[in-house]
Amino acid sequence: MKRPSYRERDHDFGQAMLTVRTAMGLTQAELSARLGISRYAIGGWELGDKYPKAHHLKQFIAVALEQQAFPAGHEAAEIRSLWEQARQKVMLDEHWLASLLSDFAPLPEPTAPTLRPSSTPPRLDWGDALSAPNFYGREDELKLLTTWVAQEHCRVVSVVGFGGIGKSTLVVQLMHQLAGHFQVVIWRSLRDIPTYELLLDDCLHTLMPQPAEDLPASLEERQNLLMQMMRTTRTLLVLDNVESVLEKEASAGRLRADYENLGRVLHLAAGTEHQSCVLLTSREKLSDLVPHEGNQTPVRTLRLSQLDHTACNRLLAEKEVRGSDADKAKLTEVYEGNPLALKIVAQTIVELFDGEITLFLEQGEVIFGGVRQLLNDQFARLSPMEQDVLIWLAVLREPSTLMDLRSVLISPSATTAVLEAIDSLNRRSLIEQGHTRGSFTLQSVVLEYMTSRLIADISSAIEQSRLDGLVKYGLVLAHTREYVRQIETRLIAIPILEQLKSVYASQARLEDHLLALLKAMSAQAEEAQGYGPANVIVLLRLLRGNLRGIDLSNLVLRDLNLQDVDMQDSHLINARIENSLFTEAFAALTAVAVSSTGDYWAASSRRGEIRIWEAGGHVLHHSWQAHMSTVWALTFSPDGSVLASGCNDGSLKLWDVHTGKLRWMSRHAGDVNRLSFSPNGRVLAGAGDGDDCCVYLWHVANGHLLQIIPHPTSVAAVVWSPDGHLLASGDVEGYVRLWTIDSNKPAYHLQMMTQHADCADGLAFAPDGRLLASASWDGTVKLWDVTNGQLSRTLTGHANRVGRVTWSPDGRLIASSSVDETILLWDVEAGSYRPALRGHSSHVYDIAFTPDNRNLLSSSRDGSLRVWDMTSEQCIHVIHGYAASINDVDWSPDGSRLVSGGTDLVLNLWDAHTAAHLHGLQEHTGVVCAVGWSPDGRWLASSDAEYGIRLWDLTSDAGFRFLRQPDNSGNYLYGIAWSPDGQRLASGTHRHGVTIWDVRSGEEIWIGQHAAAWFPLVAFSPDGKRLAAGGDDGSVYLWNIAQNRLEQQFQGHHSRITSLAWSPDGTYLASGAKGTEEGELFVWDPQNGQRVHYFAGHDGVVTAIAWDANSRYLISGCGHGQLHWCDRHSGEQRWVRTAHAGAIRALRRSPDGTRLASGADDGVIIIWELDTGAQLQTLRRDRPYERLNITGIRGLTEAKKATLHALGAIEDAHT
């Protein structure tokens, strides 16, 4: 039996041949007769499977000229281009071409007003428009649509008709025919676009390859921008399958609630002047357009009826179906001239009745009632394997390969069996080939039918408790692409749930029934459970919103996504896990790296964890606590055997990738901001800050320090050139420097680039080494010519500071990530931006391409690692972490409550006596940096850096109000402090200053700008007359507020100030930082600026400080989670307590002076008795898997089990 070919196709050539043939107005059969070759040869050209021979191509061109298929005046250029695309072995004969062109007179100018072909080639974005090699009839409809669009300049045109009637095919023909009349042509099918916002942004980025620096944030403004672009740029926007976003049960033609704004755009497109056209296909007429329609208005609708008998006869002839004219007419009438129905039934006639219509009609096999009934009959005729393939293609939603199908089948199947099923379905016109090599998908009508059938079958199986009806197919798969999983949920799982809700009287009864199904499945043999448990769990999660308190013991969980699911108090005893996903135990992800082979991915977190994955992020290879504080630097060695990590506590470590063991470690004097291996893997460069502000060069084999390259200020980025001869560094002032590196000589400063206005936080050489890209907090990416240091190009587009930049390995793309939560992709060859990658809900910290250029990884402060497909520019995989670190805590003035804020974006209020969680304030959109209760207890202040300070009124339901700097939006606000009288609020800022706000008016009343430092910490003196601030330059600044004067600058720390606290009597000021060998804890006399105490013995960074009520004891927390009670009189440590499994971020004394609250990266608040150091209470919100019993669980690696334990899972003691 002949097998289909899976070799690489030339889609561009096939599309070009199809476009020319459709412009001729000839079918494949008619053209084959003209050329004297088979129709299948022409089909092969149009699929891109093969190229024509030179003499056949000449014949084709001659016919095209005769049929006036080339744009008038551009014939020669089009023919030359086609010849080049056809990859002929001989050059085009110019004498032959000239002679041929002379035989045809130029086309006359049209007499009616018409759109002229554009003088420049249009920008074509065909999207997922499939080729339509055969076009039957519809010539009159095509001419009418051409008149409406090209001559009468209709603004909105709808093509409506039954499924399978040929709407998409007709519009594809029209799109190709009229493409030259527009500047931009966009095709989008609404069948599987998850959200309207995604559609809108996608269209905007196609229309605006170079996005505006400030793309409107609001949906309304972006819609207005789209209309503006359609006025200034002649655009043909084709929206196919609009019925996919219409209400199912509502009045005809009404858009779903999540697509209502599309109706507004269509209303504007229909009712306002512009030079573009929106072309729609739908099974129903849109109600939003009805008021605008009319024979004399620019809004028209064409309703497609059945194909005429002549076109139907051509279709049947091409399918090699035979019969009398009367038989053909009867067959056409029975199936209402629907081309899809005729194609399907024609294959049945060929296979079962030797192509004879008469025999088919005599057997009484005709199925009346349209395509759905026909598909019912066809489905019943299919083999079990063919049925499985159809249903799985409906679940997978997008073109899938043979291997994709084999991987999801519940029973192992031979490749030949699956391939034969695919071949049979293809011949029956039930599936069609996708864009990618060897992939297949369902035609829209068949997809809708199979989806409806699956929904009905699963719903019936659940109602009747037929367990065997639930096991063969998964509803929502964990390992499909992220956007596909969202579609599976919306179009399959939710409709099943809605159907079940209509059957059961209450949610409780439905839930009981689903739980009973799980219990019955748990008694089955594991090999019999299939996808059944996973399907029921998906429905339970949608029904309940969580999976708390559910017994899932003895179940097989196959391809189930349990990320971001609360499973407290549930049971997975003796469960078997197969290809399922759980939440990871990391917090905000600060760095990401990919090995040179792509075998390993690594990510680091704010809490110092490192994780390494295999198998494209699906298998956790290693997970460990590498550092005790934030890891900003992470990179693989060129051979992929070593992973280097650098922390903001100054530690630098090299790890063996295969074993996870430490090879060696060293230390910077300041933070380790970035690391880069030389191309030969022998030298490691590290960038840092602190007193020395240097780039360090380390010997990889033994950890010896080879060289120190001093800089005038903190170094934020460092990278080697591909040939290893140059080293680039970027600093916090925005300067980019190039150094030549010779192993036997000191580094030589070659040149400096100075055009950034803020920190140069990311650097990347192009793969060929000729250009250097730099990312800056000024919101730009700049490209520098390495040979002369000149600025080659500035890339704008981000709405906020840019932190990272990287080149794809093939040099075609530049990716940049930003605080604005987006990733931008610059297409180097096209000189324009691609659509932005959106999906993260907070800062995108780091990005990395895979070596095959196919995927981009991104890590974010939102606690997720996302994988982006570079072809579809969609997120295909998400690894979710659990971000619950605590950044700050504070007591209510009466000591009865505590407030905490951190990476979960929530202000959590606690009962300080019972440790109960009271409630959470959830309006923050960024990580909460600081919290503070006003002295009178009315106000609660919280900051989340770039979004300003929120003031919450706790005495009313008024919510909160903002304190922000409207004229300085980039001046991020960090630490906050209340004045003792509660009338003022101080905040530290990023842009060199501190500010004080009047709480009642919300106005800035004082700004201290006498220092060039970033101030993450501020503290009022107990008398309210002075304000202290800790800077990133290692100094403590002290202002006299009344005199607006900088009184003191305390110097001595070796790195930025990480903690700051006044003694209660105001006679001392304590500050903490990271030293060269250990944490630094200093006590200062604020009167004379002298350091009066230095407390040693802190491991790492001193991250938090608090005094006792008598100003004698100073309690400090460090990056390793320890608490130290230090006696100011003796200078000795009284107690050391191991308090937290992570850096302690906040220490606050209770108002009565008897208790101390500590908050840390581990998400825990501990209340201590201050005088004795005894632990009194532990406050913690339940983690996702708190008390989840995983005794006897199978199918998980030890690393994954450790992750579940870290998120609260338990095992019985006897295990």
Note whether residue 572 is domain-resident.
Answer: no
pLDDT in tens, 871-880: 888 898 999 8
Say if residue 458 is in the same domain as residue 599: no
Note whether residue 841 is domain-resident.
Answer: yes
Tokens of 635: 């990179």
Question: Is 830 in a helix, a strand, or coil?
Answer: coil
Question: Is 631 in a helix, a strand, or coil?
Answer: strand
With bands split at pLDDT 50, 70 and 90, how would you rate the model's confidence at 1160? very high
Q: Which of residues 280 and 341 earns the better pLDDT score?
A: 280
Do residues 1101 and 1074 lie in contact, with contact meaning Cβ atoms separated by under 8 Å? Answer: yes
Task: Return the closest-CA partner of residue 786 out of 769, 807, 810.
Answer: 769
With bands split at pLDDT 50, 70 and 90, how would you rate the model's confidence at 1? very low
Interatomic CA distance for residues 1107 and 1067, integer angstroms? 12
Task: Return the closest-CA partner of residue 804 out of 843, 768, 831, 766.
Answer: 843
Q: What is the mean pLDDT of residues 547-552?
A: 96
Say if residue 497 is in the same domain as residue 515: yes
Tokens of 1120: 């390793």
Task: Please give the pLDDT value at position 210.
Answer: 54
Note whether residue 701 is domain-resident.
Answer: yes
Structural domain boundaries, residue 199: 117-305
Beta-carbon count within 10 A of 1136 CB = 16
Say if residue 480 is in the same domain as residue 606: no
Q: What is the mean pLDDT of residues 270-295?
A: 88
Share of the chain above pLDDT 70, in %: 93
Interatomic CA distance for residues 901 and 915, integer angstroms? 16
Do residues 809 and 821 lie in contact, with contact meaning Cβ atoms separated by under 8 Å? Answer: no
With bands split at pLDDT 50, 70 and 90, how would you rate the model's confidence at 560? very high
Q: Which of residues 1085 and 118 earns the better pLDDT score?
A: 1085
Note whether residue 574 is domain-resident.
Answer: no
pLDDT in tens, 832-886: 888 889 889 888 999 999 999 999 999 998 889 999 999 888 898 999 888 788 9
Task: Please give the pLDDT value at position 252.
Answer: 62
Q: What is the mean pLDDT of residues 1139-1163?
A: 93
Look at the chain and count its residues. 1215
Task: Please give the pLDDT value at position 51.
Answer: 84
Residue 991 in this model has a pLDDT that exceeds 70: no
Residue 1209 in this model has a pLDDT that exceeds 90: yes
Buried b (16+ CB within 10 A) or exposed e, 918-941: eeebeebebbbbbbbbbeeebbbb
In CATH, what number is assigned to the domain containing residue 691? 2.40.10.480
Say if residue 60 is in the same domain as residue 139: no
Final residue of a domain: which of 632, 667, 702?
667
Comparing 125-139, 273-287, 480-494, the range with the smallest average pLDDT is: 125-139
Do residues 887 and 927 lie in contact, with contact meaning Cβ atoms separated by under 8 Å? Answer: yes
Final residue of a domain: which of 74, 109, 144?
109
Note whether residue 512 is domain-resident.
Answer: yes
Task: Please give the pLDDT value at position 1141.
Answer: 86
Task: Please give the pLDDT value at position 427.
Answer: 75
Interatomic CA distance for residues 223 and 239, integer angstroms? 16
Q: What is the mean pLDDT of residues 583-608?
A: 90
Task: Return the closest-CA partner of residue 14 out of 55, 54, 53, 42.
Answer: 42
With bands split at pLDDT 50, 70 and 90, how would you rate the model's confidence at 147? very high
Residue 172 in this model has a pLDDT that exceeds 60: yes
Final residue of a domain: which of 71, 88, 109?
109
Beta-carbon count within 10 A of 895 CB = 15
Do residues 1151 and 1163 lie in contact, with contact meaning Cβ atoms separated by under 8 Å? Answer: no
pLDDT in tens, 113-127: 444 555 567 778 877
Query: pTM for this structure?
Result: 0.75
Residue 1115 in this model has a pLDDT that exceeds 70: yes
Task: Please give the pLDDT value at position 365.
Answer: 46
Note whether residue 613 is domain-resident.
Answer: yes
Comparing 319-328, 751-760, 775-784, the range with the smallest average pLDDT is: 319-328
With bands split at pLDDT 50, 70 and 90, how would you rate the model's confidence at 986? very high
Interatomic CA distance for residues 154 and 145, integer angstroms? 9
How many domains does the chain divide into? 8
Task: Please give the pLDDT value at position 67.
Answer: 80
Say if residue 279 is in the same domain as residue 360: no
Tokens of 370: 């349209």
Tokens of 207: 């229309």
pLDDT in tens, 887-925: 999 999 999 999 999 988 889 999 999 999 998 988 887
Task: Return the closest-CA partner of residue 361 out of 340, 385, 332.
Answer: 332
Task: Please give the pLDDT value at position 48.
Answer: 74
Task: Please give the pLDDT value at position 117.
Answer: 53
Note whether residue 903 is domain-resident.
Answer: yes
Comparing 121-135, 622-636, 745-759, 987-1001, the range with the smallest average pLDDT is: 121-135
Note whether residue 688 is domain-resident.
Answer: yes
Residue 391 in this model has a pLDDT that exceeds 60: yes
Interatomic CA distance for residues 938 and 935, integer angstroms? 8
pLDDT in tens, 307-342: 888 888 888 888 888 888 888 888 887 777 888 888
DSSP 162: S
pLDDT in tens, 640-686: 999 999 998 888 999 999 988 999 999 877 789 999 999 999 999 99
Task: Please give the pLDDT value at position 766.
Answer: 97
Task: Please give the pLDDT value at position 971.
Answer: 65
With bands split at pLDDT 50, 70 and 90, how would you rate the model's confidence at 287? confident
In CATH, what number is assigned to the domain containing residue 88? 1.10.260.40
- Residues 795, 796, 802, 806, Cα dihedral to 10°: -30
Say if residue 207 is in the same domain as residue 258: yes
Comparing 109-113, 262-266, 738-742, 1143-1147, the range with the smallest average pLDDT is: 109-113
With bands split at pLDDT 50, 70 and 90, how would you rate the model's confidence at 612? very high
**Which H or E run includes 34?**
helix 28-35
Residue 1084 in this model has a pLDDT that exceeds 70: yes
Say if residue 785 is in the same domain as residue 823: yes
Say if residue 915 is in the same domain as residue 1055: yes
Task: Please give the pLDDT value at position 646.
Answer: 94
Task: Please give the pLDDT value at position 5.
Answer: 35
Q: Which of residues 985 and 585 earns the better pLDDT score?
A: 985
Task: Please give the pLDDT value at position 958.
Answer: 63
In CATH, what number is assigned to the domain containing residue 807? 2.130.10.10
Instruction: Kindly give, in sequence order, each residue whose CB lies less than 8 Å from that of residue 977, ignoring residues fewer than 6 positions away.
Output: 932, 985, 986, 987, 1018, 1019, 1020, 1027
Say if residue 731 is in the same domain as residue 799: no
Buried b (16+ CB within 10 A) or exposed e, 432-458: ebbbeebebbbbbbbbbbbbebbbebb
Say if residue 867 is in the same domain as residue 925: no
Task: Return the closest-CA partner of residue 425 out of 445, 440, 444.
Answer: 440
Residue 6 in this model has a pLDDT that exceeds 70: no
Say if residue 291 is in the same domain as residue 383: no
Say if residue 911 is in the same domain as residue 931: yes
